[in-house]
């Protein structure tokens, strides 16, 4: 039982003993900085049950709790707030209990409670862009946080490798490519294919303009442009299994997969299982037919199949076209069921998809529940806002997206420029410098994106993200490197238990209280699917450490026991920073 639970129990005991009243709950809050204390019991809610002056009530309860809880050293009452001062030995005992824990804050992985997290899920007609970066970073980090909270996790994506948009790139390459390949062009495969997606759009617009100038209505021209009709014909050929079309599709998708793999590696994300839309687009049709027989779906006069969700505040949704072909909803139903077939231990799924799909997932989850799948109660849409740049919105058809590879490279360049300006690289070899720029640049990018609540829109500012001051990745990385420097200088100090008779400095106590919060923060982040809670916890920890570093002597402390404790405390802070940043997919440098 933790201290707050013990105090809560004793406060209830006190109220029963002193006032002959059963108190249903006890409200706590952190003690305000201007008051002495570590835990504050709020007296005001008790006045519904106990009549009297809140200061008198608080004083009587405080006296009782101090007598019955050995960890409570003293107390004070300010108006309706009972501030309890916790004995130093409580914090030192806590510290000794975690000093050798290599995965402090993590819970042992469950063998029965598995969750699948889907993220990335790109189209194979263009490279990954800034929006994909937020998606990947969120999905990967949430996966790591869920693991730390005790879940078994499968990381997956569904690659959107079929459809008219793929055929547009294929057709443009046929028409304008002159046999160009990633090898002959020097371009990554995904960049090469994306180049022809843009080329298709340029040619399409030119044909529309020509038709309009010849007197065709714009709406008609958009539907009858020859290059669009050719792309539609190519899609029909692919769906009918035309050998030449399928061979071209395989070749160009292969280029894209190689390019994606490079980006994923550079970004530091990975997957346990890949699904492909070309394999899954026929899934779900049989499920819909079964649901039709059970009365879950209904058929309209034209033969199309729908579900009526108006009773749940939604609308009617089509699940099968009149010609029997599937829509995206059908495919998602089938894919979800297929995943549980592939991984029978799955008890839930997390879909990392932008907030423009909020309605889609409400409908999907509701349909799966109506179909009777028990795991459908454990489905979660990790909905996130768009990422904007100071220069404005991105459009992939026009080639104005912020390319993921370019952004990663530019973040490393920005880190290099700022590091050189600050003059922090004396004694580094060239390879060490390049690795440091990578760690700082990627850390800046990841932290800037992950520190924001997923539901909020982000305005991403690369320069601001690499600042070595404030709530940034590099600021936290620099503090970690500072701690490693302390440990190198104190190399003779062993990791061993500290004396519990020590008198703690106020800053030591505050730092220990912050470390205590880490396991709870991991669990909260898992429950809320929010890496932002981990990011901002780490920033608070680092601020507390820097305040401690400035106000107490560590290596220069004359009292050997105190010096030993402060080195060990610094070491544990470094371990928690490293552990927290690992959950965000961020590396920490040994030197900076």
Q: What is the CATH number of the domain that holds 552?
A: 1.10.730.10
Does residue 344 lie within any of the structural domains? no
- Based on the fold, state whether residues 52 and 189 are members of the same structural domain: no
- The owner of tokens 């980006």 is 263
Domain shared by 450 and 546, yes or no: yes
Q: Shortest CA distance to 116 belongs to which of 149, 142, 148?
A: 142
Pair 447, 555 in one domain: yes
Q: Which residue has the tokens 């907030």?
A: 355
pTM value is 0.92
Which of 58, 86, 114 corresponds to the end of one domain?
86
Q: How far apart are CA 344 and CA 448, in angstroms?
A: 37
Q: Are 227 and 203 in contact (CB under 8 A)?
A: yes
Structure confidence by residue, pLDDT tens digits, 116-151: 999 999 999 999 999 999 999 999 999 999 999 999
Neighbours of 284 (CB within 10 A): 26
Name the nearest CA neighbour of 172 among 190, 193, 141, 151: 193
CA-CA distance, 196 to 209, in Å (whole number)?
20
Let me know if residue 244 belongs to a domain: yes
* CATH number of the domain to which 8 belongs: 3.30.1360.70
Interval 271-306: pLDDT, tens: 999 999 999 988 999 999 999 999 999 999 999 999
Q: What does the pLDDT read at residue 400?
A: 53
Say which residue the tokens 């070899």 belong to. Answer: 429
Q: What is the pLDDT of residue 464?
A: 85
The phi and psi torsions of 573 (rounded to 5 degrees) equal -60, -45
Structural domain includes residue 318:
no
Of the three residues 86, 108, 126, the one that is the final residue of a domain is 86
* Last residue within a domain, chosen from 221, 244, 267: 267
Percent of the chain with pLDDT over 90: 85
Are 173 and 64 within one domain? no
- 82 and 170 in a single domain? The answer is no
Asked whether residue 403 is domain-assigned, the answer is no
544 and 416 inside one domain? yes
Partners of 462 in beta bridges: none
- Band (pLDDT 50/70/90 cuts) for residue 378 is very high
539 part of a folded domain: yes
Same domain, 74 and 167: no
Which residues constitute the domain of residue 72?
Answer: 3-86
Kindly state whether residues 188 and 81 are assigned to the same domain: no
pLDDT of 426 over the 80 cut? no
Residue 426 lies in a domain: yes
Does 211 lie in the same domain as 67? no
Q: For residues 211 and 69, state if they share a domain.
A: no
Integer Cα distance of 530 and 523 in angstroms: 10
- Averaged confidence pLDDT in the chain: 93
How many C-beta neighbours within 10 Å does residue 148 have?
A: 24
Q: How many CA atoms lie within 13 A of 290 on its CB side?
A: 13
Residue 153 belongs to a domain: no
Whether 370 maps to a domain, the answer reads no
In degrees and rounded to multiples of 5, residue 537 shows phi and psi of -60, -45
- Residues 71 and 182 grouped into a single domain: no
Asked whether 373 and 337 are in contact (CB, 8 A), the reply is yes
Q: How far is the C-alpha of 568 from the C-alpha of 583, rounded, in Å?
A: 23
Structure-block tokens of residue 356 = 């423009």
CB atoms within 10 A of CB 191: 19
Could you list the beta-strand ranges (E) of 321-394: 346-354, 379-384, 387-388
- Whether residues 560 and 414 share a domain: the answer is yes
Q: How many domains does the chain have?
A: 3
């Amino acid at each position: 039982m933790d201290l707050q639970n013990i105090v809560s129990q004793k406060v209830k005991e006190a109220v029963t003993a002193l006032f002959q009243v059963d108190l249903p709950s006890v409200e706590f809050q952190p003690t305000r900085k201007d008051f002495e204390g570590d835990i504050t019991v709020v007296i005001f809610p008790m006045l519904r049950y106990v009549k009297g002056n809140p200061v008198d009530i608080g004083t009587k309860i405080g006296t009782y709790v101090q007598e019955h809880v050995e960890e409570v050293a003293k107390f004070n009452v300010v108006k309706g707030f009972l501030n309890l001062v916790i004995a130093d030995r409580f914090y030192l005992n806590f510290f000794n209990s975690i000093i050798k824990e290599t995965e402090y804050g993590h819970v042992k992985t469950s063998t029965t409670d598995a969750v699948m997290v889907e993220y990335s899920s790109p189209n194979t007609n263009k490279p990954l862009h800034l929006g994909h970066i937020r998606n990947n970073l969120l999905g990967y980090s949430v996966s790591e946080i869920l693991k730390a909270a005790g879940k078994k996790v499968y990381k997956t994506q569904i690659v959107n490798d079929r459809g008219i948009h793929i055929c547009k790139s294929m057709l443009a390459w046929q028409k304008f490519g002159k046999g160009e390949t990633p090898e002959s062009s020097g371009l990554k495969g995904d960049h090469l294919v994306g180049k022809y997606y843009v080329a298709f759009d340029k040619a399409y617009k030119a044909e529309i303009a020509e038709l309009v100038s010849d007197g065709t209505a714009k709406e008609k021209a958009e539907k009858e442009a020859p290059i669009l009709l050719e792309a539609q014909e190519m899609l029909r050929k692919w769906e009918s299994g035309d050998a030449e079309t399928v061979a071209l599709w395989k070749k160009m998708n292969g280029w894209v997969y190689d390019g994606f793999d490079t980006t994923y590696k550079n970004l530091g994300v990975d997957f346990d299982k890949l699904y492909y839309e070309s394999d899954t687009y026929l899934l779900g049709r049989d499920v819909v037919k079964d649901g039709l027989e059970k009365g879950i779906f209904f058929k309209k006069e034209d033969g199309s199949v729908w579900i009526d969700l108006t009773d749940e505040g939604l609308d009617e949704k089509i699940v099968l076209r009149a010609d029997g072909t599937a829509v995206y909803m059908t495919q998602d139903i089938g894919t979800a069921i297929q995943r549980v077939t592939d991984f029978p231990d799955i008890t839930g799924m997390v879909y990392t998809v932008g907030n423009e799909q909020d309605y889609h997932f409400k409908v999907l989850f509701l349909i799966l529940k109506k179909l009777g799948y028990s795991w459908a109660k454990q489905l979660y849409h990790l909905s996130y806002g768009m990422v904007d740049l100071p220069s404005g919105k991105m459009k992939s058809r026009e080639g104005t997206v912020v390319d993921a590879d370019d952004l990663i490279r530019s973040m490393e360049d920005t880190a290099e420029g700022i590091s050189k300006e600050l003059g922090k690289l004396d004694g580094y070899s060239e390879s060490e410098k390049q690795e440091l720029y990578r760690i700082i640049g990627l850390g800046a990018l990841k932290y800037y994106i992950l520190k924001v609540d997923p539901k909020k829109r982000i305005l991403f500012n690369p320069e601001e993200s690499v600042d070595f001051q404030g709530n940034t990745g590099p600021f936290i990385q620099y503090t970690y490197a500072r701690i490693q420097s302390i440990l190198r200088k104190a190399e003779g100090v062993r990791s061993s238990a500290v004396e519990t008779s020590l008198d703690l400095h106020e800053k030591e106590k505050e730092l220990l209280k912050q470390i205590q919060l880490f396991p709870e923060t991991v669990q909260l982040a898992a429950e809320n699917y929010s890496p932002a809670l981990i990011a901002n916890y780490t920033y608070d920890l680092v601020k507390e450490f820097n305040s401690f570093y400035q106000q107490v002597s560590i290596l220069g402390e004359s009292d050997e026991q105190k010096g030993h404790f402060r080195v060990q405390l610094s070491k544990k802070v470094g371990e928690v920073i490293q552990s927290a940043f690992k959950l965000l997919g961020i590396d920490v440098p040994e030197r900076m």
